[in-house]
Amino acid sequence: MDNTKRIQLLTEAEISDLYDRPDFTADERELFFAISQSEQETLTQYHNVRTRVYFILQLGYFKAKQQFFQFTFEEVADDTRFILKKFFDQAQSDNQWNGGLSRDSLRSQKQSILELFEYQDWSTTIEPTVFAKLCELIRYFPKGHSALRQLLFYLDRQRIITPTYRKLQDMFSEAFAVEEARIKPILQSIPDYWCEQLSALIEHKDGLNQLTLLKADQKDFQYTAVKFEIEKAQSLEALYRFSEEFLPTLKISKNAIRYYADIVEQYAAYRLRRLGKYQQWLYALCFIFHRYQQITDNLIVTFLYHVRAIIDSAKAFAETEQLKHSSQVTVDFPKLAKFLKWFPTRSQNLTPEELNDMAYSILPKEQFTALADFLTGNTFDKTAAKWQYYANVSRLISLYLRPIMLAVPFSYYREGSHVMELIVLLKTHYTNGKSPNNLKIADDLGLTVPKHLQVYLKRKPEDEYLDPYRFEFFIYQKMYHLINRGKLCCNASVSYCDINHDLINDLLVDDIEQVAQEFGYPKLPVYCESRLDEAMDALNQAWESTTENIRLEQNEGFQIKETTDGKLQWRLLYDRSEKLDDSFFRTLPKTEIADVMMFIGELTGMWHGFTHLKSRYTKRKKPVPLALNACILSEAFGFGTIKMSEMSDIDYSALRSTREDFVRIETLCAANDWVSNFINGLSIFKIWNLLDDKLLADADGQKFETTDSTIQSRYSKKHFGKGRGISLYTLIANHVAVTASNLGLNEYEGHCLYDMVHGNKTDIDIHSVTGDNHSLNKINFVALDAIDVNYVPSIKNVREASESLYASHFVDNLEGLLRPVGTIDAELIRSQSRGIKRVLLSLGRVDLCCTFRVQQYIGSHINMNASDNMLA
Distance from C-alpha of 700 to C-alpha of 729, rounded to nearest angstrom: 6
Given a contact cutoff of 8 angstroms between Cβ atoms, the answer to whether 233 and 214 are in contact is no
- For residues 832 and 717, membership in a common domain is answered with yes
CA distance readout (Å), 662 to 599, 654, 671: 19, 12, 11
**Assigned domain for 461 exists:** no
- For residues 686 and 778, membership in a common domain is answered with yes
- Contacts of residue 279, Cβ cutoff 8 Å, sequence gap at least 6: none
Task: Kindly report the number of other CB atoms within 10 A of residue 274's CB atom.
Answer: 10
Q: In terms of residue numbers, what domain contains 604?
A: 586-662
Name which of 346, 231, 353 is nearest 298 in CA terms. Answer: 231
Q: Which contacts (CB < 8 Å, 24+ apart) does range 498-503 have?
A: 498/411, 498/413, 499/413, 499/856, 499/857, 499/860, 499/861, 499/862, 499/864, 500/413, 500/863, 502/842, 502/849, 502/852, 502/856, 503/838, 503/839, 503/842
**Assigned domain for 807 exists:** yes
Question: Strand, coil or helix: what is 736?
Answer: strand
Q: What pLDDT is stored for residue 752 in this prediction?
A: 85
Distance from C-alpha of 658 to C-alpha of 41, rounded to nearest angstrom: 57
Given a contact cutoff of 8 angstroms between Cβ atoms, the answer to whether 510 and 441 are in contact is no
**Assigned domain for 480 exists:** no
**Assigned domain for 160 exists:** yes
Distance from C-alpha of 818 to C-alpha of 805, rounded to nearest angstrom: 9
- Contacts of residue 333, Cβ cutoff 8 Å, sequence gap at least 6: 371
Name which of 454, 476, 478 is nearest 466 in CA terms. Answer: 454
Given a contact cutoff of 8 angstroms between Cβ atoms, the answer to whether 708 and 640 are in contact is no
- Contacts of residue 15, Cβ cutoff 8 Å, sequence gap at least 6: 165
Distance from C-alpha of 473 to C-alpha of 314, rounded to nearest angstrom: 12
SS3 content of the chain, % helix, strand, coil (to 5): 60, 5, 35
Dihedral sign (CA 510, 514, 515, 520): positive
Q: Which contacts (CB < 8 Å, 24+ apart) does range 225-233 have?
A: 226/299, 226/302, 226/400, 226/403, 226/404, 227/403, 229/295, 229/298, 229/299, 229/302, 230/299, 230/403, 230/404, 230/407, 232/295, 233/292, 233/295, 233/296, 233/299, 233/407, 233/408
Name which of 123, 118, 116 is nearest 157 in CA terms. Answer: 118
- For residues 847 and 742, membership in a common domain is answered with yes
Q: Give kind and range of the element (H or E) at residue 729.
A: strand 724-733
**Assigned domain for 624 exists:** yes
CA distance readout (Å), 82 to 58, 72, 96, 509, 737: 14, 15, 16, 50, 37
Given a contact cutoff of 8 angstroms between Cβ atoms, the answer to whether 867 and 835 are in contact is yes
**Assigned domain for 402 exists:** no
pTM: 0.79
Per DSSP, 557 falls in state T
- For residues 724 and 625, membership in a common domain is answered with no
Q: What pLDDT is stored for residue 112 in this prediction?
A: 93
Exposure on the CB side of residue 664, measured as CA atoms within 13 A: 16
Cβ density class 486-502: b for 16+ within 10 Å, e for less: bbbbbbbbbbbbbbbeb
Q: Which contacts (CB < 8 Å, 24+ apart) does range 858-863 have?
A: 858/486, 858/751, 858/777, 858/779, 859/484, 859/485, 859/486, 859/487, 860/413, 860/485, 860/486, 860/487, 860/499, 861/413, 861/414, 861/486, 861/487, 861/499, 862/499, 862/832, 862/835, 863/500, 863/835
- For residues 825 and 695, membership in a common domain is answered with yes
Distance from C-alpha of 853 to C-alpha of 147, rounded to nearest angstrom: 23
Cβ density class 181-203: b for 16+ within 10 Å, e for less: eebeeebeebeeebbebbeebbe
Exposure on the CB side of residue 215, measured as CA atoms within 13 A: 17
Cα-Cα-Cα-Cα dihedral of 371, 375, 381, 385, to 10°?
A: 10
| DSSP-assigned states of every residue in 784-822 | HHHTT-EE----S-HHHHGGG-EESS--TT--SS---SE
- For residues 31 and 109, membership in a common domain is answered with yes
Q: What pLDDT is stored for residue 5 in this prediction?
A: 65
Residues 628-668 have pLDDT tens digits of 999 999 988 888 888 898 888 888 889 998 988 888 888 89
Residues of the chain with pLDDT under 70: 1-5, 90-96, 204-208, 327-333, 336, 339-340, 366-378, 443-448, 575-577, 614-619, 810-816, 845-872
Given a contact cutoff of 8 angstroms between Cβ atoms, the answer to whether 273 and 202 are in contact is yes
Q: Which residues pair with 697 in a beta bridge?
A: 733, 769
CA distance readout (Å), 751 to 301, 699, 859: 16, 12, 12
Q: What pLDDT is stored for residue 486 in this prediction?
A: 84
Residues 585-644 have pLDDT tens digits of 888 888 999 999 999 999 998 998 888 876 665 667 788 999 999 999 998 888 888 889
The 3-class secondary structure across 504-520, one letter per residue, is CCHHHHHHHHHHHHHHC
- For residues 682 and 815, membership in a common domain is answered with yes
Q: Which of 635, 662, 689 is the last residue of a domain?
A: 662
**Assigned domain for 555 exists:** no
Q: What pLDDT is stored for residue 718 in this prediction?
A: 77
Question: Strand, coil or helix: what is 102?
Answer: coil
Q: Which residues pair with 732 in a beta bridge?
A: 698, 737
Question: Strand, coil or helix: what is 743?
Answer: strand
Q: What pLDDT is stored for residue 812 in this prediction?
A: 57
Q: Which of 234, 268, 293 is the last residue of a domain?
A: 293
Distance from C-alpha of 418 to C-alpha of 412, rounded to nearest angstrom: 9
The number of residues making up the chain comes to 872
What domain count does the chain have? 5
- For residues 227 and 93, membership in a common domain is answered with no
Q: Which residues pair with 702 in a beta bridge?
A: 728
Question: Strand, coil or helix: what is 680?
Answer: helix
- For residues 646 and 715, membership in a common domain is answered with no
- For residues 776 and 822, membership in a common domain is answered with yes
Q: Which of 236, 262, 293 is the last residue of a domain?
A: 293
Name which of 499, 493, 479 is nearest 425 in CA terms. Answer: 479
**Assigned domain for 224 exists:** yes
Angle 384-386-391 from CA coordinates, rounded to 5°: 95
Given a contact cutoff of 8 angstroms between Cβ atoms, the answer to whether 54 and 100 are in contact is yes
| DSSP-assigned states of every residue in 429-444 | HHHTT--GGG---BTT
- For residues 717 and 818, membership in a common domain is answered with yes
Q: What pLDDT is stored for residue 850 in this prediction?
A: 36
Q: What pLDDT is stored for residue 618 in this prediction?
A: 66
- For residues 39 and 134, membership in a common domain is answered with no
